[in-house]
Structure 1
Amino acid sequence: MTTHLVHAIGPAVLKELRSTDDAGRRMVPVTDDEGGAPLRCCLRRSRPGERVALVSYAPLRRWAAGAGVDPGAYDEQGPVFVHAEECDGPAGDGPPFDGAHRVVRRYSADGRILGGRLVEPGDLEAAFAQAFADPAVEFVQVRAVEYGCFLYEVRGG
């Protein structure tokens, strides 16, 4: 069985986003009275009463800068929820946020989209295996169907 490595937004990037996000805005923390926000820092849903923030994040731009490539027109930014303060990061097995339809978007080593797939609840591992069976796939992004928001990145293991 192939292992797929799920990546939350890393601590160094989170520190930057909590100061000034990828749209140049300052973070505005709020208390999440209801809970349920998909937190990209620890890959779980928020609990009632936790302090969270909605920040703008450009996942492909940040990946491309580290990889030394130009994301070109595929560069995009969008809203993500994070804890307002530092947290312990992910602490779970298996793909997070797997209870709803998701989109798995495949990317090449030069940051170009190779395609995407709508995934049924519970079928993320199979979608990852299919994506990484293509040697041109460098990584995938898992996104929410409802809003298209970035949830997390996955790499082959």
Structure 2
Amino acid sequence: MTIQFKALPTEDVRALQRGAPDAYGRTPERQISDGDGVPCRHCLRNVAAGDAYLVLAYRPFPELQPYAETGPIFLHAEECERTAGGEMIPEMLESSDYIVRGYGKDDRIVYGSGGVIPTQAIAARAGALFERDDIAYVHVRSARNNCYQCRIERA
């Protein structure tokens, strides 16, 4: 099974970088990176020390429903290039493990699909989940804080 790691869409990111409201209707907060653990969900790289970044509430689902988790994410404050994606683990995934969880076509969690997976095994786990007909896409989330990292789709 071929997979593809997907970053946030550029048009959504550009709007946020220009001050559009986040998922809670608030203006994204601007911070300066210390270079440690500030993963941009658009280029899928860490924000370098001294560079500005945005902190905002993000809901990676098309509409409100009970399973539409909303949480904090980071983005470069200035324009960055969206990653082309692909099946390689994104540079920003530096932790030892992450939550990998499947969602159905209805954008709801598929029970029994989630688990804390070692980083090197994320692609294999996603591939195994995509062998199931009830999995439409997969999220990678922080194993410590449940923050959304990126989405994985069938290629």
Band of TM-score, shorter chain: 0.7 to 0.9
The 3 A distance-change label for structure 1 pair 102 and 33 is: closer
- Counterpart of 2:82 in structure 1 is 89
User: For residue 71 of structure 2, what is the amino acid of its counterpart?
Assistant: G
Q: 1:99 to 1:28 in 2, by over 3 A?
A: closer
* Residue 53 of structure 2 is aligned to residue 58 of structure 1: no
- What does residue 101 of structure 1 align with? 97
- Once the two structures are superposed, the pairs formed by residues 9-48 of structure 1 within 5 Å of their partners are 9-18=8-17, 19-48=20-49
Extract unaligned runs of 5+ from structure 2.
none
Normalized against structure 2, the TM-score is what? 0.87
Name the count of aligned residue pairs: 148
1:134 aligns with 2:132: yes
1:121 is displaced (CA, Å) by 2.7
- Closer, same or farther: CA 111–41 of 1 in aligned 2, 3 Å: same
CA distance, structure 1, for counterparts of residue 151 and residue 9 of structure 2:
11
SS class of match (2:66)? helix
CA displacement, residues 21-53 of structure 1 (integer Å, 9 cap, x when unaligned): 111111222221334311111111111111101
Q: Mind listing any 5+ residue stretches in structure 1 that lack a counterpart? A: 66-70
Say which SS state the counterpart of residue 16 (structure 1) adopts.
Answer: helix
Q: Which runs of 4+ in 1 moved over 3 A?
A: 33-36
Q: Secondary structure at the match of 2:13?
A: helix
Alignment CA distance shift 1:92-1:141 (3 Å): closer
Task: Provide closer, same or farther for how the CA distance between residues 58 and 98 of structure 1 changes in structure 2, counting only shifts above 3 A.
Answer: same
Question: Paired residue for 2:106, among 106, 110, 115?
Answer: 110
Q: Name the CA distance, whole Å, in 2 between partners of 1:148 and 1:85.
A: 25
Query: Quick one: structure 1 residues 4 and 138, their matched pair in 2 at CA, closer, same or farther if it must change by over 3 Å?
Result: same
* Offset of residue 134 of structure 1: 0.3
Q: CA RMSD in A?
A: 1.7
Identity %: 28
Retained in 2: the 8 A contact 1:99–1:122? no
